[in-house]
């Protein structure tokens, strides 16, 4: 059942835009501002009735559903009209402010009276509009009371909305998912399954994708297959679109496949994947997208390649005709209860007290994980008391569910409960996410801007809209309505589950449309338009902007289109708040951009052709974000100091003539332009080398910006590793950086392409700093004692070739070093010889350590073993490092290009070891917990000694990549056979990824599985494609049955025998071409005879 809802809140609209209509701005209409504020209050009274109306419609708890739906539409229409009227009012005020006073003085009395008359007409029009809106809103409210609607006060501040900690993924693994994963991996990699396609089948929301992803990410899978490909499917995909998605995920170019047939796309896939043993994982497949032989012919060129797909469509199972169907079952009650408690953020005491009522809730969810998580998110907004949980159960009674999509019957009620319990402000934001284009990744920094542009965010308690929008995003994640993408651990990428979309999109489908004309395609949702295909260039955009239906747009995203010129008609989009022209070929912005008086977000990332920023940008006083990252205009005419509402400014480039006051020709801005911008929360300054001295740097007045949390200070980069900078110039760099001291509230700091010899001491005063990035500081030979930064969580130091010693603490301090540091990343420090030692109690939170390209470092810092949670380490290009030892909690170790490394020892819980091109490593001991080993050596011809003498009784998989001569030593009765014969599984691949052999200890006869015998067969898929095309061409040209029956089979048999019997591919190519030519000539001859005989 479709329910139209009012998605556009108004008020206080002026506050939401950060651009209130100033009282008394117009002398002709001093009361208009008050009239609009009263209208906003009346509109809010209507909003309070919306929740009651929607619940009655969904539960069928009303006698007049058509009247209720009509009432919602009327309220929505009135609120949109009020929004538009407010914009018109602000636009007229802005137009009056833009008229220069000196021009007014020069005009004649006639012109003065004419202008005064025009202003009077505008005020008169606004007065009529407000009177009409007032009458309309009162009528709507009266009608709502007659329908019996009552305000429903849903919690605005829930228990989880004030969650103080960081967002962390809710990947609660319940049930037997680990056992199920291992079963699937055995089917995919073992010999017990002969099916090329294996399906994971189950209800929507049962956990199919999670299981498939666990299989995809497992090291057993990575070891068994040369290539593992993940493809996100969709019910809306056609066969061709699915093939193109597979091509894209496999590393191909989907653009090249646009005009090709399905068979031709399959041939492209064979070219990419055919020489490799691969696993293709297709998530969310439907019957109309595949056929019985789907991809089997194209993708079985290599023995052991597999397709793993997930589906809830039984038609898929009939289509693939596979014997291997893995059904995902519902959870047991203990697993359900564990998942519910974690989703509702309950502690152990609350879990024990609510167990009995939890049984009823789990029954409502039918033991389906998605339903439990979503309903648990709703319960997390309540206090953990029986009465409040009982209210949720009572609310679930009496629902009449109709038109539920197939397969969703068991999960629809919990999802509806969670959705219709959302406070109005969150429902607006979530509805917006439901209608974003397919494949749109929900990132907080982007979607929050779109919410603000639509007017969903209302200022409160002196908080700015960005902070409020981030809080809304966090709450939707914690309610499990937005779910993080699998593998994204910082919640920076989210999606809406397909089942949730299928159930809830019909309620808002009238807010979305996809149209196309002249090849231009655009997606429109609410008052947002995404143009995602534009072959007709500027003409296509002109058509788009002139559409009357788009005049009320709030957001227009043209990212990546072929636009070069912005038409003047842009000025008619008075209501526009967000304009994104990133990655376009735009050469300049029109002067008419100043007409967009309501514009809040102007995004011009990577506009490489943009030559000029017009002066008129200075008039966009509502602007909250200006993003020029990756864009370097040649001429900058605009002034930024008037844009006092800016909260984000990226790509602020310092003028080349910063030392010259009042120069007329600018290719950047002077530092003083930043001084009045005290609302900034995020700032990126480019070209700090252009700042002449510390006093000019201080003109930016960064220290006084009390909201600034994100700062990037970047110089002009150079690729010259031996750059020479005089000593006095290095001192200037340091003095400039001293003058750019930020406030102590800073949380993120990046310093890039800096050519001073040291860093300023103010870094150590940043008490709230959580992430620090120092990159391309080529002349730095010392660093401050960064270990004093007690809140630091992520530290990256990259590209400091002069740095010899890094000290974490000063001699006098007794504080612990890096108590909250989670990741330490050091790379490209060619002179680094020593890292300061750590003491007991340091690095309490360190989980990952990465060291790369530091050839002079002889040892890891002593005391690293004190880290009780250090589980992952990667060492690359440490040529002088000889020993890695005494890391008691390390689970994963990757070493690569460490030429002097001779020993790895005393890593008792190490499970994964990857060794790449470390030919000197001969001693591996104290690794009793080792389960997976991967060895890559493309040069050596001998097996390392540690392979034969390893102490790893639990070793499950051994993968080796090397030359043919090296791999031959692993076959039975050879030198290396004794080293691998007791391993569970062994996979040997050639350097190009082609499999050489596979060995499975689980086979009764210990038989080796030979899949290739040498690099001379690398190009076999090319012959395979030719053969396929021959067969297809023959079948399509209508040859005589006798030709099909007696000619083609022998030809195929001969070709196969040749492929198996010889290693000389040159001979194969000659013979194959010969037989192919015979086949073609014979085919055309028989066609000619058939036609001649008529």
Mean pLDDT score, 415-442? 87
- Output 17 or 537, whichever has higher pLDDT: 537
Q: For residue 397, how many C-alpha atoms fall within 13 Å in the half-sphere facing its CB?
A: 5
Mean pLDDT over 413-422 rounds to: 90
pLDDT value at position 676? 95
Indicate if the alpha-carbon torsion angle 781, 784, 787, 791 is positive or negative. negative
pLDDT digits (tens, 9 = 90+) for 39-78: 888 888 888 888 788 777 766 666 677 788 888 888 888 8
pLDDT at residue number 662: 52
Tell me what the mean pLDDT of segment 818-847 comes to. Answer: 92
Q: What is the pLDDT of residue 54?
A: 78
Query: What pLDDT score was predicted for residue 100?
Result: 52
User: Which has the higher per-residue pLDDT, 94 or 1068?
Assistant: 94
Is the pLDDT confidence value at 607 over 50?
yes
pLDDT(11) > 50: no
Is the preceding omega at residue 12 within 30 degrees of 0, hence cis?
yes
- For 268-306, the pLDDT digits (tens) are 887 787 667 888 899 988 887 776 666 655 555 456 788
In terms of Cα–Cα distance, which of 873, 209, 201 is closest to 487?
209
- Nearest to residue 43, comparing CAs of 89, 69, 70, 6? 6
Q: Which of 138-152, 544-558, 614-628 has the least mean pLDDT?
A: 544-558
Say if residue 546's pLDDT is above 70: no
State pLDDT tens for residues 479-504. Answer: 999 998 876 767 889 999 989 998 98
- pLDDT exceeds 70 at position 603: yes
Contact (CB, 8 A) for 92 and 597: no
Q: Do residues 772 and 794 make contact, with C-beta atoms less than 8 angstroms apart?
A: yes
Domain boundary assignment for the chain: 13-146, 160-168+332-507, 177-327, 871-878+887-1016, 1019-1092
The answer to whether residues 861 and 837 touch, using CB atoms and an 8 Å cutoff, is yes
> Which of the residue ranges 209-213, 251-255, 490-494, 611-615 has the most confident prediction, judged by mean pLDDT?
209-213
The percent of residues in the chain predicted with pLDDT above 70, rounded, is 76
pTM summary value: 0.82
At residue 622, φ and ψ (nearest 5 deg) are -90, -5
Higher pLDDT, 579 or 150: 579
- Angle formed by the axes of helices 424-434 and 32-59, nearest 10°: 70
**879-895 confidence digits (pLDDT tens):** 999 999 999 999 999 99
Write down the pLDDT at residue 1037: 43
Looking at residue 858, its pLDDT comes to 92
Q: What is the mean pLDDT of residues 150-170?
A: 54
Average pLDDT over residues 240-248: 85
> Residue 1071, class by beta-carbon neighbours within 10 Å (0-12 exposed, 13-18 middle, 19+ buried)?
middle
Question: Residue 1032 pLDDT more than 70?
Answer: no
350 or 1079: which leads in pLDDT: 350
First to last CA, the chain: 61
Q: Looking at the predicted structure, is the pLDDT value of residue 400 above 60?
A: yes
Fold type of domain 177-327? Rossmann fold (3.40.50)
Helix or strand run (H / E) with residue 1079? helix 1065-1092
- Where does the pLDDT of residue 1040 fall: very low under 50, low under 70, confident under 90, or very high at 90 and above? very low
pLDDT in tens, 974-986: 888 888 888 888 8
List Cα–Cα distances, 192 to 177, 189, 986, 1009, in angstroms: 21, 9, 16, 13
pLDDT at 1010: 47
Q: What is the pLDDT of residue 1054?
A: 61
What's the mean pLDDT in 517-523?
A: 52
Q: What is the pLDDT of residue 4?
A: 30
Which residue carries 């700015």 as its tokens? 464
Mean pLDDT of all residues in the chain? 80
Q: Which two tokens stand for residue 673?
A: 């332009």
Query: Is residue 716 predicted with pLDDT exceeding 90?
Result: no
For position 235, what pLDDT does the model report?
A: 80
What pLDDT score was predicted for residue 820? 94
Q: Which residue has the higher pLDDT, 155 or 307?
A: 307
pLDDT tens-digit map of 766-799: 999 999 999 999 999 999 999 999 999 999 999 9
- pLDDT value for 636: 81
Tell me the CB-side half-sphere exposure of residue 516, using CA atoms within 13 A. 9
Residue with tokens 């974003």: 436
The predicted structure's pLDDT at residue 90: 75
Which tokens hold the place of 392?
């949720």
Q: What is the pLDDT of residue 95?
A: 66
């Amino acid at each position: 059942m479709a329910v139209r809802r009012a998605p556009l809140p108004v008020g206080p609209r002026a506050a939401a835009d950060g651009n209130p209509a100033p009282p008394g701005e117009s002398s002709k209409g001093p009361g208009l501002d008050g009239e609009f504020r009263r209208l906003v209050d009346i509109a809010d009274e209507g909003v309070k009735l919306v929740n009651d109306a929607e619940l009655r419609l969904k539960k069928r708890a009303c006698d007049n559903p058509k009247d209720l739906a009509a009432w919602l539409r009327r309220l929505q229409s009135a609120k949109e009209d009020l929004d538009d009227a407010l914009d018109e009012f602000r636009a007229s005020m802005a137009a009056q402010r833009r008229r220069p006073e000196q021009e007014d003085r020069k005009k004649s009395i006639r012109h003065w009276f004419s202008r005064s008359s025009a202003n009077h007409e505008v005020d008169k029009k606004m007065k009529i509009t407000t009177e009409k809106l007032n009458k309309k809103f009162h009528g709507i409210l009266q009608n709502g009371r007659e329908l019996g609607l009552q305000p429903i006060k849903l919690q605005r501040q829930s228990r989880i909305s004030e969650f103080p900690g960081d967002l962390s993924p809710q990947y609660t693994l319940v049930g037997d998912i680990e056992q199920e994963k291992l079963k699937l991996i055995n089917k995919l990699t073992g010999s017990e399954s002969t099916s090329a396609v294996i399906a994971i089948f189950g209800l929507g929301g049962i956990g199919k994708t999670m299981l498939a992803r666990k299989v995809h990410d497992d090291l057993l899978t990575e070891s068994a297959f040369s290539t593992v490909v993940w493809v996100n499917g969709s019910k809306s995909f056609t066969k061709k679109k699915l093939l193109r998605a597979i091509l894209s995920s496999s590393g191909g170019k989907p653009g090249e496949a646009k005009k090709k047939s399905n068979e031709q796309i399959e041939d492209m896939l064979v070219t990419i994947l055919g020489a490799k043993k691969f696993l293709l994982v297709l998530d969310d497949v439907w019957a109309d997208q595949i056929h019985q032989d789907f991809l089997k012919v194209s993708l079985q060129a290599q023995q052991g390649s597999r397709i793993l797909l997930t589906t809830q469509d039984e038609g898929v199972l009939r289509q693939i005709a596979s014997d291997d169907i893995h059904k995902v079952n519902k959870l047991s009650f203990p697993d359900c209860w564990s998942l519910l408690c974690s989703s509702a953020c309950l502690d152990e005491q609350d879990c024990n007290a609510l167990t009995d009522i939890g049984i009823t809730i789990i029954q409502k969810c039918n033991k389906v994980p998605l339903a439990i998580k979503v309903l648990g998110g709703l319960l997390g907004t309540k206090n953990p008391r029986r009465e409040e949980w009982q209210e949720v159960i009572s609310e679930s009674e009496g629902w009449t569910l109709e038109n539920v999509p197939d397969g969703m019957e068991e999960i629809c009620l919990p999802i509806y409960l969670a959705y219709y319990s959302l406070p109005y402000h969150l429902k607006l934001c979530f509805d917006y996410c439901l209608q974003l284009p397919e494949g749109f990744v929900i990132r907080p920094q982007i979607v929050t801007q779109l919410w603000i542009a639509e007017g969903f965010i209302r200022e409160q308690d002196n908080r700015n809209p960005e902070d409020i929008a981030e809080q809304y995003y966090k709450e939707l994640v914690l309610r499990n309505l937005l779910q993080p993408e699998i593998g994204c651990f910082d919640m920076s990428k989210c999606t809406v589950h397909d089942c949730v979309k299928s159930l809830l999109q019909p309620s808002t489908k009238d807010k979305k449309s996809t149209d196309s004309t002249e090849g231009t395609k655009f997606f429109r949702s609410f008052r947002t338009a995404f143009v995602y295909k534009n072959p007709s260039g500027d003409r296509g955009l002109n058509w788009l902007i002139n559409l009357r239906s788009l005049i009320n747009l709030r957001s227009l995203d043209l990212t990546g289109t072929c636009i070069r010129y912005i038409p003047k008609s842009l000025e008619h989009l008075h209501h526009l708040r967000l304009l994104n022209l990133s990655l376009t070929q735009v050469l300049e912005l029109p002067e008419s951009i100043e007409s967009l008086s309501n514009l809040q977000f102007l995004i011009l990332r990577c506009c490489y052709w943009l030559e000029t920023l017009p002066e008129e940008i200075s008039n966009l006083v509502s602007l909250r974000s200006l993003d020029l990252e990756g864009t370097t205009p040649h001429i900058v005419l605009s002034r930024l100091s008037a844009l006092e509402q800016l909260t984000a400014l990226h790509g602020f480039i310092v003028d080349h003539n910063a030392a010259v006051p009042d120069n007329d020709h600018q290719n950047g801005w002077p530092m003083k332009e930043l001084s009045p911008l005290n609302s900034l929360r995020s700032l990126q300054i480019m070209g700090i080398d252009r700042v002449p001295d510390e006093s000019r740097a201080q003109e930016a007045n960064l220290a006084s910006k009390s909201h600034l949390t994100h700062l990037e200070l970047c110089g002009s980069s150079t690729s010259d590793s031996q750059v020479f900078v005089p000593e006095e110039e290095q001192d200037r760099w340091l003095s400039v950086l001293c003058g750019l001291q930020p406030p102590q509230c800073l949380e993120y700091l990046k310093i890039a392409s800096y050519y001073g010899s040291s860093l300023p001491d103010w870094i150590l005063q940043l008490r709230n700093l959580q992430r620090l990035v120092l990159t391309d500081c080529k002349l730095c030979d010392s660093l401050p004692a960064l270990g004093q930064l007690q809140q630091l969580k992520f530290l990256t130091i990259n590209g400091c070739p002069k740095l010899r010693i890094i000290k974490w603490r000063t001699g006098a301090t007794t504080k612990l070093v890096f108590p909250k540091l989670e990741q330490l990343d050091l790379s490209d420090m060619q002179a680094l010889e020593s890292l300061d030692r750590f003491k007991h109690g340091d690095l309490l939170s360190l989980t990952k350590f990465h060291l790369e390209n530091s050839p002079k470092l002889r040892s890891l810092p002593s005391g690293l073993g004190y880290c009780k949670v250090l589980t992952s380490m990667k060492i690359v290009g440490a040529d002088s490092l000889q020993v890695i030892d005494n890391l008691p909690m390390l689970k994963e170790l990757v070493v690569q290009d460490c030429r002097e490394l001779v020993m790895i020892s005393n890593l008792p819980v190490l499970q994964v070891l990857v060794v790449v091109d470390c030919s000197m490593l001969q001693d591996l001991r104290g690794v009793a917990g080792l389960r997976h080993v991967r060895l890559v050596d493309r040069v050596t011809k001998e097996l390392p000694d540690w392979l034969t003498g390893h102490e790893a009784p639990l070793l499950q998989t051994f993968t080796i990549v090397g030359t043919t001569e090296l791999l031959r030593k692993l076959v039975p009765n050879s030198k290396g056979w004794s080293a691998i014969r007791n391993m569970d599984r062994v996979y040997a691949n050639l350097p190009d990824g082609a499999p050489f052999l596979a060995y499975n200890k689980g086979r009764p006869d210990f038989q080796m599985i030979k899949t290739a015998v040498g690099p001379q067969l690398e190009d076999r898929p090319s012959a395979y494609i030719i053969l396929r095309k021959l067969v297809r061409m023959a079948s399509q040209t209508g040859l005589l049955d006798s030709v099909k029956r007696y000619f083609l089979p022998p030809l195929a048999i001969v070709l196969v025998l040749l492929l198996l019997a010889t290693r000389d591919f040159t001979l194969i190519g000659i013979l194959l071409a010969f037989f192919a030519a015979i086949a073609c000539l014979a085919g055309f001859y028989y066609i000619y005879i058939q036609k001649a005989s008529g």
